[in-house]
Structure 1
Amino acid sequence: MSVTVLYFAVLREAAGVSEEQLPVPGSLSMLYAALQEQYGFKHAQNQLRVACNGAFCDWRYQPVDGDVIAFIPPVSGG
């Protein structure tokens, strides 16, 4: 059982990949904390948006097998 995690912008640069398959996590917070430790992400959880299956979701969402999870950092532009 797994989820697909998508990375964007600085998170993609830090991870070195745009997506990966990972075991279903206990929670989105636990997943991000593990990835932050593994890849050295600089953004705190409260600085990100999270999306599940193409729609923004709450950090309390419980991931299930087959979910697509995206962590979205703040974006600037002009």
Structure 2
Amino acid sequence: MNTLLFFAGLKEAIGTDEVRLAAAGMTLGEVKEKVRSEYSLDQVNNCMMAVNEEFAPEDTTITEGDTIAFIPPVSGG
């Protein structure tokens, strides 16, 4: 099992900051598409993603126990 973490507006849109998902063997891009589809959450397309606290490209393969974070862009002035 894998833990998916959501921050800021993503957390509010889903209603929780953490979801469990069997994602081992999937790529990070496939996980992103599953989240987008399952939660109708198009905002994930603009997010940075990290695996085990390190930013990672979409072709990263997820292994059992990995933690995946979806980090939306930061705005400010």
Report TM bin, short chain: 0.7 to 0.9
Any residues of structure 2 matched to 1:16-55 within 5 Å, and which?
A: 16-25=15-24, 26-43=26-43, 45=45, 47-55=46-54
Query: Cα distance, 1:35 vs. partner?
Result: 1.0
- TM-score normalised over the length of structure 1: 0.85
Q: Which runs of 4+ in 1 moved over 4 A?
A: none
Deviations 1:10-67 (A, max 9, x none): 111111110111102511111111111221213252x211101011111111000010
1:58 aligns with 2:64: no
- TM-score normalised over the length of structure 2: 0.86
Gaps of 5+ in 2: none
Count of paired positions = 76
When the two chains are superposed, the root-mean-square deviation of aligned CA atoms in Å is 1.4
Asked if the contact 1:14–1:40 (Cα under 8 Å) also holds between the matched residues in 2, the reply is: no
Asked if the contact 1:4–1:20 (Cα under 8 Å) also holds between the matched residues in 2, the reply is: yes
Identity fraction in percent: 36
